[in-house]
Amino acid sequence: MTERAFRVSDETLGARRVAFVKARWHDDIVDQCQAGFERELDRAAAAGETPTWSIEVFEAPGAFEIPLLARDLARSGRYAAIVGAAFVVNGGIYRHEFVADTVVGALMQVQMESDVPVLSAVLTPHNFHDSAEHRRFFLDHFLVKGEEAARACLAVTATRLAIRRAV
């Protein structure tokens, strides 16, 4: 039987440390994702569903830079998971779809090459107008997306540890 090599150690997976990389474009909206993420991890720990997690936050100028930082963080070997958060909107040019597709694809590439789960909260709405109604909607929506990213983080790291114990 051949020995299986995992690039991320069980110790790192079990350390409960996550890197949260967020873009600064539309920072008030993107910050809601971080708030929801932290709130859900705190709720899960208080309910005894998981031990307490440590969250380290990193800022990127925009969405396009998130995969580079995610790669550097994955290579550090310090994180059980990495989350990328950004709000990529249509500013009247087609480029927003290219940016979003490129960022999400690059995050997947980082995940597959580094063996570190990289979760995406990089969202591109079909329509965003800088109005009070749209801002309110997306402020609330990003809070929910942060909570969902936290649950996904807990699930994927727990499943990976379970798989390793079974092999």
pLDDT higher than 50, residue 1: no
Q: Say which of 7, 43, 75, 95 is annotated catalytic.
A: 95
Which pLDDT does position 76 carry in this prediction?
92
pLDDT in tens, 136-163: 877 888 999 999 999 999 999 999 888 8
48 contact partners, CB below 8 Å, separation of at least 6: none
pLDDT higher than 50, residue 3: no
Pick the CATH number of 18-159 from 3.40.190.170, 3.40.50.960, 3.30.460.80, 3.30.420.40: 3.40.50.960
Q: What is the mean pLDDT of the chain?
A: 86
Angle at which helix 27-46 crosses helix 132-166, to 10 degrees, equals 40
pLDDT higher than 90, residue 80: yes
pLDDT band with cut points at 50, 70 and 90 for residue 7: low
58 contact partners, CB below 8 Å, separation of at least 6: 19, 20, 21, 22, 69, 73
* Closest to 67 in 3D by CA, of 119, 25, 126: 119
pLDDT higher than 80, residue 96: no
pLDDT in tens, 28-47: 999 999 999 999 999 999 99
pLDDT higher than 90, residue 117: yes
Which pLDDT does position 100 carry in this prediction?
72
pTM score above 0.85: yes
Say whether 95 is catalytic: yes
pLDDT higher than 50, residue 108: yes
Average pLDDT for residues 86-100, to the nearest whole number?
A: 70
pLDDT band with cut points at 50, 70 and 90 for residue 4: very low
Which pLDDT does position 69 carry in this prediction?
97
In the chain, beta strands by DSSP E: 17-23, 54-60, 81-87, 118-123
Helix (H, G, I), strand (E, B) or coil at 72: helix
pLDDT higher than 90, residue 71: yes
pLDDT higher than 90, residue 66: yes
Domain ranges for the chain, please list them: 18-159
